[in-house]
Structure 1
Amino acid sequence: MNILITGASGSVGSGAAEQLRENHDIRLSDVVEVDAELPFHLADVREPGALDAASEGADVIVHTPAWHGIHMGQRSEEEFYALNVTGTFNMFRSAVRNRVRRVVWLSSMSVYGDDFYAYTKKLGEQLCRYYHEHHGIEVIMLRPADFTPFRDLRHYGERMLHGGVDRRDVLQAVELAVDGPQKFGAYHIVREDRFTEDDARSYADAPADAWERLYPGAKRVIERYGFRLPDAVRPPDLAKEREELGYRPAYHFGTFLAESARDGEIVE
């Protein structure tokens, strides 16, 4: 397939390009130059028609440009709206003009929030539904948990105890969304800690012990490095993501322990 990846300099865009290029014809687009051995189109999605040339002949657009929650307070509401909403609208208009079959759109679990970033994602998802229902474009919306770049390994480990997901699982979901049979849907791209209902009920009594039961060795690392723990845990429900998308997250605090111990970064 011919796939256009917008926001190609970003974390998802760059990773998706590497992951998909072996089996697909990839072209890239961004508002800044990208040093890659792939066709590239310089384009600002905030401008009408900016993606017309880039999307010509494309079967799929993987659309990633957005200001994120970490940019709240650094960027104005006007900037958030222009990139997250107007940029999405302009992308869809180019997709319609060029008869693009499918769009993979990066939403966020923040869609359940109530800050301005969350509202731009809600509006973006409404645009996705409109262009599916009125123009027949297949749209797969991916809602990743937090996978913003981590400061160091300890930051990553603590995030994997809270609301984080590994970037590799996000890229897995992008690849599945590009190739999958579904015509429309929104999917939670989160990690899977297999806590039980009993774990959730008793968690507050001994949080570190609950993580230890799930991932042996966790308690020593949590206590040694002073990791903050979440106040509660809940059993995951990824039935829809598994059945419809084929998503099976592979990374969690247990894999963090194994990988960091293997690389000598975290000493138990």
Structure 2
Amino acid sequence: MTRSPYSVLVVEDERWVRVVLREVLRETGLPFQIVQECTNGLEALDWLQGNTTDIVLADVKMPVMDGVSFIEQLAGLTNSPSVVFISGYDDFQAARKALRCGVIDYLMKPVEAEELAETLGKWMKEQERKKETDRSTAALCTEEGHGEIMERVLRLIHERPGHVSLAGIAAQVHMNASYLSQYFKQHTGRNFTDYVAGLRLEEAKMLVARTSLRISEIAERLGYSDIAYFSSTFKKTTGKSPLDFRRQEQVLRH
């Protein structure tokens, strides 16, 4: 029986490098298939909101959102994929940050089929080991019901915090909105509205600090129709306007 190939997301701003990676991946002869190509970290995060992949091949230096910022944001996803960094620069600091964030390998361009095959081969063996562990403990993971519902509610909220509503989530989990509101506070200790507002603020801080998007674009992404209201809310919580917050973060990072 032929095994389905593992899915691969390529995140690289240079088209010719993406073409080369497709060929190098084919040369490895391993069961991996590229399912999507993105040109920067933010574009990849957007794609991952509605899709999944087994592994990511990501460049370090990219516009809008670089590889390091991208990997730092992956931790918030429900099923975070494994990441291999690919770089044209021998950047020790970036490599150290990458390994701290859980990147499985750091390869230099031009990537050779042999070294990519070695990295992916080790990853495949680790996946098989995890599957064996999961099978041996499956009997311990049979609890269903309310826990599953809350897990789904939280997953739906985290996928698009700027575009969720109590009524919308309630419809997706087939619950009465009023009951869901009480149920949510009982299980999280927080009001639904306050919880979502907190997530939106964290997303806003990330986009302001880690991307080159205009403040108006960030406000729109997070569901704010009024940029002045967004800026006021941001400053009330962080103590700084979005632009001042961005300048501060740029200084701290350099």
- Provide TM-score, normalisation by structure 2: 0.36
Which is richer in helix?
A: 2
